[in-house]
Amino acid sequence: MMLRRFWFPLDGHLGVGVTAATLEEATTLAEAARRELWPNAQRLGTPVQDVDIRSLDQKHVAPNIGPVTVRGIWYPTNALTKGDLIGLWELESSEAALGLESGSLMMFLPGGELRYASPSADGGLSVSILTFRVEQDSIITNQASAPREERTRYRLIGPNRLELTYDGGLAVFARTS
């Protein structure tokens, strides 16, 4: 199925840009972004189908769009929602200073649960169970056994790559499911 670009105007805000196969799918994604980023905003405006990127605000929108050729939200680029994260992610690369182990896994579950697994010295996996939520350009996690919110900046690159910035160091995870 062919993907199409959609633009949803939003009163008081620039709007939401989405690439999807159908108007119904695009509306679902845009509405999720609106609820996550602007919960008090009115409903989305009438969508522009097959929007020409050059017709959008050249000072604010155009320089800040994400990839428009893959399914998902491309404006605002901080519109990552919990739904975009759901699934299993494996560490692909990280800066040595972060101390992340090759083979580390993150599983984001519906309802805001995150399971983080890293290889242990005995050859097994050490698993931590956390909660997560998304705010602006950050994933906020908390662990019940040692309560303290941690804020990690993210960038989703297409549907299958997630860049996380921990204390200034970069880690890249690849979606495996």
Nearest to 16 by CA among 86, 72, 70, 84: 72
**Per-residue model confidence (pLDDT) at position 99:** 87
User: Which domains, and CATH codes, for the chain?
Assistant: 4-79 (no CATH), 83-175 (2.40.128.280)
**Per-residue model confidence (pLDDT) at position 145:** 83
Q: How far is CA 125 from the centre of its chain?
A: 26
Tokens found for residue 136: 């602006």
**pLDDT tens digits for range 80-115:** 555 578 789 999 999 988 888 889 999 988 678 899
- Cα distance between residue 73 and residue 83, in whole Å: 12
